[in-house]
Amino acid sequence: MKIKVGFGFDVHQLKDNHPFFVGGVNLEHHRGAFGHSDADVLLHAICDALLGAANLRDIGFHFKNTDPQWKGISSIVLLKETVKLIREKGWEIGNVDAMLCLEAPKINPHIPKMQENIATAIDISIEDISIKATTNEQMGFIGREEGVVAYAVCLIEKQ
């Protein structure tokens, strides 16, 4: 068996009165992430971790932010497409571990639904999806609620 580890990172600007999708969940908040797709920072970091582990470049290579096909699209769709790409290369997903960094809103109540959304999209057990969240202690662009950051690592396996 061969195993590989991937790392993903994403950041999005927050704007007033904009939807805020994280892990496929629309969070109630006065600010939301801005981007070409739905700007789901968590799912984008996971896509990059998976693509990187399989040596398939990055999310921007496959889903260009200049392509109208991806404008406003749910990042769940991007995650499913990413999984197709890595499975075409013979890889299966072992686990995903992710960290969100934002000041507000509180993420903890939404983690079970995020885990369910991700596990369903990539067809693995909820037990293999870890999501954590922290603040930036009111420092920097995250602390001022100007942006949100996500990090993800994954393990992929090939028989």
Is residue 60 a known part of a binding site? yes
**Residue 12 labelled as part of a binding site:** yes
Residue 65 annotated in ligand binding: yes
The token pair that represents 78 in the structure block: 């991007």
Q: Is 137 annotated as a binding residue?
A: yes
59 labeled part of a ligand binding site: yes
For 22, list phi and psi in degrees, rounded to 5: -140, 120
Q: Is 63 annotated as a binding residue?
A: yes
Establish whether 67 is an annotated binding residue. yes
> Annotated binding residue at 126?
no
Please give the Cα distance from 149 to 9 (Å, whole number).
7
Residue 36 assigned to a binding site: yes
Can you read off the two tokens belonging to residue 2? 């061969």
**Region for residue 72 given its phi and psi (left: phi exceeds 0; alpha: psi -120 to 50; beta: otherwise):** left
Provide the token pair at 9.
Answer: 């990172």
Any known ligand binding at 156? Answer: no
**Residue 92's closest CA among 144, 66, 131, 53?**
53
Which residues, 6 or more positions from 127, have their beta carbon under 8 angstroms from its beta carbon?
Answer: none
Residue found under tokens 């996500």: 150
The reply, when asked if residue 40 is annotated as ligand binding, is no
Q: How far is the C-alpha of 69 from the C-alpha of 92, rounded, in Å?
A: 27
Q: Would you say 58 is a known binding-site residue? A: yes
Enumerate the known binding-site residues: 10-12, 36-37, 44, 58-60, 63-67, 134-137, 141, 144
Q: Which residues participate in the annotated binding site for a divalent metal cation?
A: 10, 12, 44
